[in-house]
Chains A and B, each alone.
Chain A
Amino acid sequence: MKKLVSLLLVASLLLVGAFAATAEEAKKWEGHSIVFAGWGDGAEKAATEAAIAAFEEATGCEVTYINNNSDFDTKITAMVAAGEQLDCAMLESGTIAYPMAEQGLLVPLDSYVEASGIDMSDYVAASCYYDNDGNMISYAGNIELMCLFYNRDVFDAAGIEYPPTSPEDAWTWDEFVDVCKQLTKDANGLTPNDEGFDAENIVQYGVNPGVWWPVWGSFILSNGGSIVDADGNFAMNQPEAVEALQKFCDLKLVDHVAPSVAASESLPAGDVALLTGTYAMVIDGQWNALTYAEAGVNFGMAPIPKMGDEVVSICTTAMFCIFEASEEKDAAWDLIQYLNDPAIDLTLFENGNRMPTSLDWLTSEDKLAQWVGEDNPARPEGYEGIIDMLINYSAAPLTGQIIGWPDMITLVDAAIEEVLYGNMSVQEAMDGVAADIEEAGIVLGLRTAGAEAAETAETAETAEAAA
């Protein structure tokens, strides 16, 4: 009898053990391990680690997170060259991502998106990147766009009304320059409108525009211009683009409302400059809200001015890609979803670093309350205008749109630098770039063209089938 009891006990113990074991095994990726590489400052790293911990806890997958901020591209290039395990990574769309995609190193994600039941029409379209054949190669749940930041105290002191919060009422370029001039002061308190204004001794600038493609690109698009036209020709030397870029450069060269190249070398960082009123306004990416909030600037955010009929603000976002060489593509896809879901970790959305791409998170009251909130210093009054601009007035990142981008942008940046140093006009500079592109045989094109071509081919097929 005793024997039977102990046997039963042992048997039950074994059963419990077995159940416990199966419960453990029920975790989806138990025993799997993936390597993820990404960049980001301390806060971003912490938030990423939190999302990864949640992923590891829920799936049992082991994640090696490589956080590398300097020479990220070099690190990735070296890892790929050495054949090290790298399953998924954040990638910079303007540099190595497309050269890698063109060699078939990145996994098309369309089937994963479909299998996960994600309807892309529920998201801001600009957040994803597509290869030359129209396959999605990056899925991101966060996005940035160009905004106008302003120091409320400077506006109050000058008795000038804040910039309009709705993109519909956004300043025209002339209105914007006019306000900039009123807010620019030299050492004697004179503005560029006054006689005897000393452009060499400016103590307060109306605006500091970021000199990089999403900023000047936004104005070119707003003015009806383009960077590369539908036929794959370099179009920045065409009238609309030249006009927009010249007006943009003239903020520094002619209007004296923005710091010259030499002067900006010695100005403090953007947050300090905006805090101390050295800049009245700044045009740059949405993520600066985090920096300004942390620095304690009494700032506001508004849509950027329009150069043409309507505001256009170019988006930027890091790519999240899976490598073709990975043996854990499915687990990597699950991790990418974790990293991009505001519901998993809200820190970076709440602190001003990012905006979500999910329309639900961008519009529904209870979701907005979680990351915009009322007393959130990183989300100033009028932030709904920024959300409106993202949903209705934004453009996809140029880096994903233009074939041949890395080679082209190096030439364009150098040419704009020449203009800002006062060595040539925008027209001359851009004609020079066009000549260089031709001479070097750089092939440009638009990726949307590839997608459209595929579409027309499909329609042709259906038509044939019908016939």
Chain B
Amino acid sequence: MAELQTRAAKSMRWYQRRERAAGWLFAAPALIGFLALTLLPMIFSLYWSLTDFNVFKSETNFIGLDNFRQMFSASDLYFKDSIKATAYYAVLNVPASILFSFAVALMLSSNIKGRGVFRSIFYLPSIIPAVASCMVWVWLLNQQYGLINTVLKSVGITPPAWIWSKDTVIPTLVMINMWNTGGTMVIFLAGIMSVPKVYYEALEIDGGNAFHKLIYVTIPMVTPTLFFNTIMAIINSLQVFTQGYIMTGGGPSNASLFYCLYIYREAFQNANMGYACALAWLLFLIILALTMVVLKSQRHWVYYSDGGR
């Protein structure tokens, strides 16, 4: 009997060991990927952000926080512009993209004809390569031959200069980005669809209308989704790059010199890798801080049906 027990225990231990090994094995791709492609480069870049590492220079010196001091000094002519452009974009884009994709998701959740077709249509732009969609927009907005201007002119509206004026470039890019919110929309849609029907039925019995359903059921129930999408929208807005790189080249007059575009320029056009790393770390800290603020705020407005556990 005792022998049987030890044998059972043995085989149990053997099984546990095997399971542990298998677990590590399955986790290995993600772990190795994280260590080699994320953590290690981050550690390197943190070190380089404290140096004057320049690709063309033979020696690299440790300069402490000088890179960070330089950003805030007058000698960096583009840092302020890039912060301004990125902040302006984020302030417009976060609410605009959230509102737009929520509104679309709401419409697509209702029981309309051809719902599947509409869902595909609204999601489709998200799978088009960003570069291609940027080029399409450049032509749509073209001052003379562009479709948008032609339509506006035909109804007697003088079109703005879109991406060719420093006053309208950021709002235009935000408007274009509405086109790419398909991913956010799908997440909202999933959130809306998973709201239990009983709540709506209860509200109907109490005499609530569609507006009440939205305010008292749908919105409170999708706040976890809203919370997630807001964080993602903040991060994506602060990391905007492609539109500035492809469509405007940062212009006119640095009005769309997004922070990431500035990092790219410093790193790969001016070869100032150390300074670019410092810029990247500052962005990381800004995003971290903003995410923490949103995280902290969630207990005031995010509703979890299981009490947030």
Contacts and interface: CB of A to CB of B under 8 A. Distances in A.
B254 A414 contact: yes
A266 B138 CA distance: 10
A100 B268 contact: no
A265 interface: yes
B120 interface: no
A99 B143 contact: no
A411 interface: yes
Contacts of B27: none
B164 A99 contact: no
Contact of A99 (B77, B252, B253, B271): B271
A440 B77 contact: yes
Nearest to B53: A81
A6 interface: no
A439 B146 CA distance: 41
A441 B73 CA distance: 11
Interface residues of B, number: 27
A19 interface: no
A85 interface: no
A457 interface: no
Contacts of A267: 144
Contacts of A160: none
Interface in A85-128: 95-96, 99-100, 102-105
Nearest to A81: B55
A262 B77 CA distance: 26
B56 A103 contact: yes
A439 B75 contact: yes
B164 A74 contact: no
A104, A414, A417: most-surrounded residue (chain B CB, <10 A): A414
Contacts of B76: 440
A70 to B, nearest CB: 11
A429 B78 CA distance: 17
A91 to B, nearest CB: 12
29 contacts: A71-B268, A73-B268, A74-B268, A77-B55, A77-B269, A78-B268, A80-B55, A96-B56, A99-B56, A99-B270, A100-B56, A103-B57, A103-B58, A104-B58, A261-B164, A262-B164, A265-B164, A266-B143, A266-B144, A266-B145, A414-B251, A421-B166, A421-B252, A439-B74, A439-B75, A439-B77, A440-B74, A440-B75, A441-B75
Interface of B: 54-58, 74-77, 142-146, 161, 164-166, 251-254, 268-271, 273
Given A74-B269, A77-B268, A81-B271, 15 more contacts: A77-B56, A81-B55, A81-B273, A99-B56, A102-B56, A103-B54, A103-B57, A267-B144, A411-B77, A414-B253, A421-B165, A421-B252, A439-B75, A440-B75, A440-B77
Interface of A: 71, 73-74, 77-78, 80-81, 95-96, 99-100, 102-105, 261-263, 265-267, 406, 411, 414, 417-418, 421, 436, 439-441
